[in-house]
Amino acid sequence: MSTPLINILEKNKHQYYPVVPFDPEKDRLLKMDFTEANKALTKDVIEDVSKFSSYVDQQLSNAGARYGIGGYAEHRTVYSRSKVFDDIDGGEPRRLHLGVDIWGKAGTPVFAPLGGMVHSFKFNDRYGDYGATIILLHQLESAAFYTLWGHVSLKDIAIVEGQYINREQEFAHFGEPHENGHWPPHLHFQIIENIELHEGDYPGVCRMSDKNFYLKNCPDPDLILQMNRYL
């Protein structure tokens, strides 16, 4: 699938600053799987934040990896841990992930890959939600688009709407479970073309029946991250 936004993001791929500290010559990445194929993620693990965090830490340690990464367009059974992803009328739940997760240590600094304005922010404090969340608005050539940064630290949302964030600026950090929606520390990074009327929040997981719409509106974040080539 190609769109004008995707074409512009691809054209400018060499100018994006790394979102997290990463030296490809010495740092390793681990591709992580949160689908039903991963039998290690039992109900007991995913419903206990401490056990879930220990699982992620152990996986990274075993692989000698600085970060775990992956998840775009991944159908994830782990979302059964929270009613946030269920339909209130008992219909189809949300399970398809629309961003890329970078799993690592709490406090890991997050940098802006390109300049942008703070569109909105919010503490989405429900179990399984984003926790502290920042949305930036960017203009690149003829394209205006948004990036969503979920599961960051509460201190990071001491900002104001309209504030400009410079390329390379450290503006966020991986949050602790009590401030990141009760997940193991990680960053959820998502590109959004049309954010509609959302402020401080936007679906990061959709129903499979809505897959075509959301994957078109939220293209692959690796267009900016440029990290999959190191997996």
Residues 110 and 20 sit within 8 Å (Cβ to Cβ): yes
Torsion of CA 155, 156, 157, 162, to 10 degrees: 140
> Which DSSP category does 209 fall into?
G
Averaged pLDDT of the chain? 96
> How many domains does the structure of the chain reveal?
1
Backbone dihedral angles phi then psi of residue 147, each to the nearest 5 degrees: -125, 140
Average pLDDT over residues 71-81: 92
Q: Which pLDDT score is estimated for 192?
A: 98
Q: Which pLDDT score is estimated for 2?
A: 86
Judged against a pLDDT cut of 80, whether residue 177 lies above it is answered with: yes
Q: pLDDT tens-digit profile of 8-19?
A: 999 999 999 999
pTM of the predicted model, to two decimals?
A: 0.96
Task: Report d(CA 182, CA 231) in Å as an integer.
Answer: 27
Q: pLDDT tens-digit profile of 113-156?
A: 999 999 999 999 999 999 999 999 999 999 999 999 999 999 99
Q: How confident is the model at residue 197 (pLDDT cuts 50, 70, 90)?
A: very high
Judged against a pLDDT cut of 90, whether residue 90 lies above it is answered with: no
Element (H, E) at 214: helix 211-217
Judged against a pLDDT cut of 80, whether residue 229 lies above it is answered with: yes
Q: Which pLDDT score is estimated for 88?
A: 84
Two tokens at 153? 């630290």
Judged against a pLDDT cut of 80, whether residue 194 lies above it is answered with: yes
Torsion of CA 145, 151, 154, 155, to 10 degrees: -60
- The boundaries of the domain holding residue 71 are 4-230
Q: Provide the b/e sequence for 173-185 (b: ≥16 CB within 10 Å).
A: bbbbbebbbbbbb
Q: Which pLDDT score is estimated for 67?
A: 98
Q: Which pLDDT score is estimated for 80?
A: 87
CA distances from 186 to 68, 92, 122, 169 (A): 9, 27, 17, 19
Judged against a pLDDT cut of 80, whether residue 48 lies above it is answered with: yes
- Tell me the CATH number at 124: 2.70.70.10
Token look-up 């920042």 returns 134
Average pLDDT over residues 48-67: 98
Q: Which pLDDT score is estimated for 22?
A: 97
